[in-house]
Amino acid sequence: MEKLSMSELREMNDEQLEDTLRETAKTLFHLRVQAQTDRLDVPSELYRNRRLIARIKTVQNQRRPKLAEEVATAE
């Protein structure tokens, strides 16, 4: 998975973010299994994937209050 900046993550819609999160979590799982059973070629990939997951969740959490506010004003 390539490194995505916060601005790139913010440009994504909710579905794209969810797909990226799912894919990154799956990759992280496989890297953890590989780290336990074998040697990783690039150990920093674990770190990068954890950081990417945190960034995605941050963007999702920043959007939640805005969604709740939009729903409240629509009613």
Kindly state the average pLDDT of the residues 62-75.
75
CB 46 within 8 A of CB 32: yes
In a domain, 13, yes or no: yes
CATH number, domain of 16, equals 1.10.287
- Predicted TM-score (pTM) of the model is 0.81
Is 1 part of a structural domain of the chain? no
Domain count, the chain: 1
CB 55 within 8 A of CB 9: yes
Handedness of CA 40, 21, 58, 9 (dihedral sign): positive
Identify the sign of the CA torsion 58, 60, 63, 67: negative
Per residue in 12-59, pLDDT tens?
A: 999 999 999 999 999 999 999 999 999 999 999 999 999 999 999 999
C-alpha–C-alpha distance, residues 24 and 49, integer Å: 6
1's tokens = 């998975």
